[in-house]
A and B are shown apart, each in its own frame.
Chain A
């Protein structure tokens, strides 16, 4: 009787240790960033340009740059990703080609982001001749998030019971009608959850925008989508490793990190709310 008891305790102990480690690490990181970044956060920090060789002033252009790039990412990733998921889940026949496509998509989500960055340089900056700009960077991030959007959207579609589709078809709905009116309304919250999580990861990426449009410092706000831009993650990278007076700008680096984390957190919160709404609909 004693042996299973001990192994039980060991197993449970290990689980507790794992959870504890993760939480402690998370708290340390957050505490470090918040305590050191809190000092510089104020309205002025959020809404002014950097000054004196970026040793003073705010991070407005980086916030705006990240915002605009994320909008472009969403505009590319959401319609294409959802469309692709609808095709794969509702229309495509289950065969070798379909399985191959699905496997490729899963694999693409594991490709390092720097590879997307280089691909973006070739496709958008050079071949399409868009130059290094918000559009190129946003589309590069859009390509990078597509696998996540597609996979999450497909899962959301799979969660809609088959009986909703059959019920609609039996009433004389066409296939597209049944999908549009009786499947998508129940899948969209789940699709958005996955998509927003993908976008929030994209917003924090540096490598894909490094060569496709992000700039070290620009003394004015982007004039169009064809301008170069500053972005929060890249700004953070510069302020913590590339600046000529690193120790002097450390508070600004922490402040930037805090803003970036807050932004990502806000987006994830949006995803959680969307998922909560989905659950509520299902339980009704």
Chain B
């Protein structure tokens, strides 16, 4: 696999005494969608949150090994965590708009990063909302509170908010699990559009969704990366029996 964006090498993660991720090594390809599947508690969310170091905020968290993003180990002592998070945006499982206007939600990331130019902020807000395929639905009410949007719109707003700071990677933690089928479809279409510009890593519980949208699929179990391959191979002829059992719904 060439064009590697993120290189994970012997990555271990502990919460206190619990060993959550065990010696995970994988290469994540640029401008592709990498799906992460596995039963609850297998460490897939923890893995995702390791890539933008969101786990730092958790008490008793300890990481070992390397996650190399564009040639730099993001767990090096001299790394700027804020810089990592700007590069790797995140969309959470439960949409979390801030109690601000739609416009201010999108502009938030720019403003905290010191952007003052109003014209530029306007431009970025529109661009991000267009990229997240929600512009047409909100363009007439940018000053309305974001909580007035529907669940699916809120989630796309959160995607737009992540895009506004121009990340290179978008991490998505079950972004459609709380959405109805129509809204899910919209988010899935959006992901296909986004991979042209971004590297996307998505955690999902939904096997069909992983098969539909991801180019590569990684199967995690009990903190270990069991199998990782091109999605079409993973879903048709997986090497390991246990992967097949999980994908065909025999457990999980």
Contacts and interface: CB of A to CB of B under 8 A. Distances in A.
B99 A169 contact: no
A171 interface: yes
Interface size of A as a range: 20 to 34
A28 interface: no
A170 B112 contact: no
Interface stretch (B6-14, B20-28, B83-91): B83-91
Given A168-B112, A170-B52, A172-B85, A284 B99 contact: yes
B99 A186 contact: yes
A169 B57 contact: yes
Interface in B50-94: 52, 54, 57, 59, 82-83, 85-86, 89-90, 92, 94
Contacts of A284: 99, 145, 147
Interface in B143-169: 145, 147, 158, 161-162, 165
Given A182-B98, A281-B99, A284-B145, A166 B82 contact: no
Interface in A145-164: 161, 163-164
A129 interface: no
B192 interface: no
A171 B85 contact: yes
Contacts of A94: 59
B209 interface: no
B108 A171 contact: yes
B86 A172 contact: yes
A282 B145 CA distance: 11
B176 to A, nearest CB: 17
Contacts of A104: none
Given A93-B59, A94-B59, A284-B147, A171 B96 contact: no
A181 B113 CA distance: 12
B108 to A, nearest CB: 6
A163 B112 contact: no
A247 interface: no
A157 to B, nearest CB: 15
A167 B83 contact: no
Given A163-B94, A163-B96, A284-B99, A172 B59 contact: no
Given A163-B92, A166-B54, A284-B145, A171 B86 contact: yes
A166 B48 CA distance: 14
A174 B83 CA distance: 10
B85 A167 contact: no
A161 B147 CA distance: 14
B112 A172 contact: yes
A184 interface: no
B109 interface: yes
B165 A171 contact: yes
B170 to A, nearest CB: 11
A224 interface: no
Contacts of A177: 112
A93 to B, nearest CB: 6
A207 interface: no
B82 A167 contact: no
Given A94-B59, A177-B112, A284-B145, A170 B89 contact: yes
Interface string A41-73: 000000000000000000000000000000000
6 contacts: A163-B92, A167-B96, A168-B108, A170-B162, A177-B112, A284-B147
List the 6 closest pairs (A to B, CB-CB), nearest first.
A172-B86, A163-B96, A171-B109, A170-B90, A173-B112, A172-B85
Given A163-B94, A182-B108, A282-B99, 4 more contacts: A167-B161, A170-B89, A170-B162, A172-B109
